[in-house]
Structure 1
Amino acid sequence: MAIDLKMPALSPTMEEGTLAKWLVKEGDVVKAGDLLAEIETDKATMEFEAVDEGTIAKILVAEGTDGVKVGTVIATIAAEGE
């Protein structure tokens, strides 16, 4: 079953951010703790880590996209065998 990766809230007041850079590409295998992307808030650039493992099936938000709302699905991870 595919897992949705959602735009994280990197601070208590964050409502949206910029997906600055993907550190993975479709087809990459990731495990918990791997860095997936760099996300810019109005105050800092933070790294977004995987909490699940699988293969990056689809990147839905291109790097450099501004105004990505917290909770927006930005990519999907396919489980082994999908």
Structure 2
Amino acid sequence: MPEITMPRLSDTMESGVVAAWHKHVGDQVSAGDVIADIETDKAIMELEAYDDGVLERILVPEGASAPIGAPIGLLGDGTGSAPEPSAPEQSAPESSTPEAS
């Protein structure tokens, strides 16, 4: 089932804050419904659903931030069987552990 991901709302945006969730776990969601408010460095914008389903998980709570493309919620069929979220596309951090000789 579809992931709800942090959208890119401006060219300079790298992450956003979930200011408020308008839907709660277990709520029916239809494409076009406003499901959350996303705060950027410049404004608060409404996030609309792109798919129909039931909000099964909220992965980023109100007040928390997430990078663009990161899953912030999961839609499912209402059975609670939504798949685990995928990792957002980003470069892997370099390891800072010294190599053994």
Q: Superposition RMSD on alpha carbons, in Å?
A: 1.4
> Structure 1 stretches (4+) deviating beyond 3 angstroms?
79-82
Which residue pairs with 2:55 in the alignment? Answer: 56
Q: Percent identity?
A: 45
Which has the higher Rg, Structure 1 or Structure 2? 2
In proportion to residue count, which structure has more strand?
1
- Determine helix, strand or coil for the equivalent of 1:62: coil
Deviation track 1:49-71 (CA, whole Å, cap 9, x = no partner) reads: 001000001111100113x1001
Structure 2 vs 1, CA of residues 28 and 80 (structure 1 numbering), >3 Å: closer, same or farther?
closer
- Residue 13 of structure 1 deviates from its aligned partner by 2.0
Deviation track 1:23-80 (CA, whole Å, cap 9, x = no partner) reads: 00000001011000001101000000001000001111100113x1001100000037
- Determine helix, strand or coil for the equivalent of 2:25: coil
Larger relative contact order (Cα-Cα within 8 Å, sequence gap ≥ 6): 1
Which residue pairs with 1:76 in the alignment? Answer: 74
- Determine helix, strand or coil for the equivalent of 1:76: strand
Give TM-score scaled by structure 1 length: 0.90
Structure 1's unaligned 5+ residue stretches are none
Aligned residues: 80
For 2:55 and 2:17, locate their aligned partners in 1 and report how far apart those are by CA, in whole Å. 20
Structure 2's unaligned 5+ residue stretches are 82-101
Q: Is the contact made by 2:16 and 2:38 (CA closer than 8 Å) also made in structure 1?
A: yes
